[in-house]
Amino acid sequence: MTPDPHTPFLGAPKAKPGRVLILACGALAREIIVLKDMNGWDHFVLQCLPADLHLRPEKIPDAVEAVVRKSAGKFSDIFVAYADCGTGGLLQKRCDELGVQMIAGPHCYSFFDGNETFEERGEVTSFFLTDFLARQFDAFVWKPMGLDRHPELRDLYFGNYEKLVYLAQTNDPDLDKRSEAAAEKLGLAYERRFTGYGDLASALAPQAKDSQRG
């Protein structure tokens, strides 16, 4: 659903002062709920798109636009809790056209680590997991790449990587074990790095303040 450049999105009158729709990637649901509860952001309404859209990132802008247009007039503001996520700048372009903000950065690994820090590290030979991907490694990495059927392809896919970096949002021994097992499965060195919620928290906080002022 590509927007017609001659019919800009104007939205409907804002009918719910103070309520903010957080339109998020399903991979961020747990983290956003924790931040919402921890900070008392009761005026945030969370709606998640399927996490497996990451397997088809070209579909993300249309999926986001569909919800933004449907939600016009129901909230005082809408915030898109996605970074670029493989859309090649198309999601930012679509959000600009729709007049909504989104999280800065190339992907969730970057904003969990902190966008500036991530860029400074320049870890081009590292493969990253978050809490979500540590839980869902088989469903989102191993099986989609066909490694459950053809494990011999592992070195073809991961031969240029040197280590797996687990960016931990929480201190969970079970997730530590899962991510370390994933590193072993991929034949990579392992590093755990506690990031907490990184730039996700600082991206959401202004939405709370702006709505409270409104």
Q: Quick one: fold of 20-106+198-213? A: Rossmann fold (3.40.50)
Tokens of 134: 């540590």
- CA dist., res. 115 & res. 104, Å (int): 8
For the chain, the domains span 20-106+198-213, 115-194
Give residue 212's pLDDT band: very low, low, confident or very high (50, 70, 90).
low
Does the CA dihedral 183-166-105-146 come out positive or negative? positive
Nearest one of 114, 117, 116, 85 to 102, comparing CA atoms: 85
Query: No. of H helices and E strands in the chain?
Result: 10, 7
E strand segments, the chain? 20-25, 44-49, 77-81, 101-102, 126-129, 163-168, 189-194
pLDDT in tens, 22-32: 999 999 999 99
E strand segments, 26-93? 44-49, 77-81
Tell me the whole-structure pTM to 2 decimals: 0.87
Q: Report how far Cα 19 is from the mean position of its chain's Cα atoms.
A: 22
pLDDT in tens, 35-87: 999 999 999 999 999 999 999 999 999 999 999 999 999 999 999 999 999 99
End-to-end CA distance of the chain: 32
